[in-house]
Amino acid sequence: MYYVSTRNKNDRHTASEAIAHGLAADGGLMTPEVLPNLSHNALDTMRDMSYQQRAVYVMNAYLDDFTSSELSVYTTKAYGGGKFDTREVAPVRGVDANTYCLELWHGPTCAFKDMALQMLPHLLTASLVKNQEEKTACILVATSGDTGKAALEGFRDVDKTRILVFYPKDGVSAIQQLQMNTQEGTNVGVCSVVGNFDDAQTGVKRLFSDETLRQELAGRGYFFSSANSINWGRVLPQIVYYISAYCDLMREEKIQKGDLVNVCVPTGNFGNILAAYYAKQMGVPIGRLICASNRNDVLTDFLNTGVYDRNRTFYNTMSPSMDILISSNLERLLFALSGQNDEEVRTYMTQLSETGRYEVSPAIRSKLDKLFAAGCCDDEQTARTIGRMWREHHYLIDPHTAVAFDVLEQYRSKTGDQTPTIVVSTASPFKFCDNVLRAIGVNDLAQGTDILDQLAEQSGVPVPAPLAALKEKPIRFADTVDKDHMADRVLEMLH
């Protein structure tokens, strides 16, 4: 199977080339030319497998130039060996008679980014070897919180890689900052940047295009790479958990093979819900794909009207990982729904960069209507939903997950659709203690890491081990740079 650029179908690459390069030369996203179909008995076969075995089975169908035994090694490293706090890795929890919650935050950083970022380093380093790259990859990340920590933990002590994370000095939560500054590993670096997330991100983009720096580092045996969510190596591991969830529901006899289930996904960059779309196309009986947004409702409008328009106010919300106005992975959906019409995709993307807006064809519009439903919810509704889920189901959820539960409720009361639905839970509530505590009625909040214990006491749910351990960990990184001096920091680290 080959991978092609969403902006040029003639730009064809093997899986390992697609993963090694990350982005296509023309700025498009590398995407499978054909999607593999699950065989007639694939779901039965996977039903009794472990999560790691299911991951090998699914990824094998996409990665021609990797053997199953290579993939077994990676899945064991990524999801085995106590890295996740439950053997199921991505457990499905019953909420009520027809609602299930797929918990994707049992990994080392308590956020769903672990599902992909525990796997990507293995796929990436193997792809580099397969393509005769001998230099060490230096992964540069600008983060507003979750991605940075998950990438550090994923790349920590992985051979032939260094990772350097830049975060905005005043733009991440206290817990997120502590998670990054205490990061262990011999190949990691963390540094804050004076300014906001945009300053950090613009700075990192400038490093990627700094030719003098590139040459200097090439001389020292390094090249820059990215752990960005548009790399195919991040999308693929996400397809696995949708298939796995369906198999779990079959195994527990909640559904019969062939029964439809809807999925409801809290969405930002469109990577997670895109993976659900791919699982559906492969043959998993998924009904509606319900796209949930916070007050930044650009995707809600797009899915309801066919017009994507980023010209709108940006809001900071209590679900910050969904505060996004340009959802990059949508480009892959447009490629699929246009019948792989690269010229059409190119036109939309040009319009987006020039005017911030595009309108899809009636043909795409009608496909979107059949596949998706969409809704949004503001912070007040989000908090109410956290409170309601706690009171009614004794289930503690984080603000991102709450957005999805709220949107599902809206969808059900509007449509009457009672199809069993999997709500995707993307972060541990302990990553957002302050907002979660307030939402369950506690207003006198503890300071620093004591707030973790406060939430545990109030809820009776134990603090996840990786967060509880933060208190004992020494601070390893405390540097701050001005955004014009980020290159110096890179040179210092890669001496």
Ligand X SMILES: *Cc1c(COP(=O)(O)O)cnc(C)c1O
Question: Rule CB under 6 A: is residue 272 a binding residue for ligand X?
Answer: yes
Nearest to 166 by CA among 210, 206, 222: 206
Residue 263 CA, chain-centre distance (Å), reads 16
Q: Which stretch binds ligand X (CB under 6 A): 265-273, 365-373, 378-386, 472-480?
A: 265-273
Binders in 112-141 for ligand X, by CB under 6 A: 112-113
Candidates 67-75, 87-95, 269-277, 370-378 — which segment interacts with ligand X by CB under 6 A?
269-277
State the Cα–Cα distance between residues 73 and 122, nearest whole angstrom: 9
Which residue of 109, 269, 293, 459 would you call a contact of ligand X, by CB under 6 A? 269
We find the least distance from the C-beta atom of residue 124 to ligand X, in angstroms, to be: 18
Binders of ligand X among 318-347, rule CB under 6 A?
A: 321-322
Among 166, 232, 270, 430, binds ligand X (CB under 6 A): 270
Residue of 22, 91, 266, 429 that binds ligand X (CB under 6 A)? 266
- DSSP-derived pairing of the beta strands 357-359 and 307-309: antiparallel
Question: Per rule CB under 6 A, is residue 279 in the interface with ligand X?
Answer: no
Asked if 294 interacts with ligand X (CB under 6 A), we say no
In terms of CB distance, is 115 or 213 closer to ligand X? 115
Take residue 303 and report the two structure tokens written for it: 């899915």
Asked if 231 interacts with ligand X (CB under 6 A), we say no
- Give CA–CA dist 491/480, Å, rounded: 15
Nearest to 433 by CA among 408, 407, 461: 461
Shortest reach from residue 329's CB to ligand X, in Å: 7
Cβ distance to ligand X smaller for residue 161 or 317:
317
Residue 251 CB, shortest distance to ligand X, in Å, is: 26
Residue 187 and residue 138 in contact, taking contact as beta carbons nearer than 8 Å: no
* The dihedral sign for the CA sequence 167, 168, 171, 174: positive
Q: CA 213, 215, 219 angle in degrees (round to 5)?
A: 115
Smallest distance from ligand X to CB 262, Å: 17
Does 404 help bind ligand X (rule: CB under 6 A)? no
Compute the least distance from the CB of residue 265 to ligand X, in Å: 7
381 binds ligand X (CB under 6 A): no
∠ at Cα 142 (206, 118), nearest 5°? 130
User: Judged by CB under 6 A, does residue 427 bind ligand X?
Assistant: yes
Two structure tokens written together for 282 = 């492969």
Ranges of H-type helices in 220-297: 232-251, 271-282
Query: What is the smallest separation between the CB atom of 324 and ligand X, expressed in angstroms?
Result: 7
Stretch in the footprint of ligand X (CB under 6 A) among 31-39, 45-53, 267-275, 358-366: 267-275
Burial 290-310 (b: 16+ CB within 10 A, else e): bbbbbbbbbbbbbbbebebbb
Based on CB atoms, which residue is closest to ligand X, 126 or 322? 322
Handedness of CA 472, 477, 482, 484 (dihedral sign): negative
CA 445 from centre of chain = 30
Amino acid at 384: R
Total residues contacting ligand X by CB under 6 A comes to 16
| Residue 192 binding ligand X, by CB under 6 A | no
Which listed residue (426, 428, 435, 454) binds ligand X by CB under 6 A?
426
Q: Given the rule CB under 6 A, which of 86-94, 262-270, 435-443, 486-494 is the region that contacts ligand X? A: 262-270
Which residue in 29, 23, 22, 34 sits closest to 7, CA to CA?
29
* Residue 267 binding ligand X, by CB under 6 A: yes
Of 66 and 112, which has the nearer Cβ to ligand X? 112
Q: Candidates 82-90, 108-116, 210-218, 340-348: pick the segment binding ligand X (CB under 6 A).
A: 108-116
Contact call for residue 7 and ligand X (CB under 6 A): no
Rounded to a whole number of angstroms, the minimum distance from the CB of residue 210 to ligand X is 27
Nearer to ligand X, 107 or 271 (CB): 271
Question: Does position 293 bind ligand X by CB under 6 A?
Answer: no
Alpha helices by DSSP H, 359-419: 362-371, 379-393, 399-415
> Helix axis angle, 486-493 relative to 197-208, nearest 10°?
60
Q: Strand, helix or coil at 161? A: strand
CA-to-CA distance for 59 and 254, rounded, in angstroms? Answer: 26
Determine which helix (DSSP H) or strand (DSSP E) holds 358, and give its type and residue range: strand 357-359
Neighbours of 352 (CB within 10 A): 17
Q: State the nearest-atom distance from the C-beta of 357 to ligand X, in Å.
A: 21
- Residue ranges that bind ligand X, judged by CB under 6 A: 111-113, 146, 266-272, 321-322, 400, 426-427
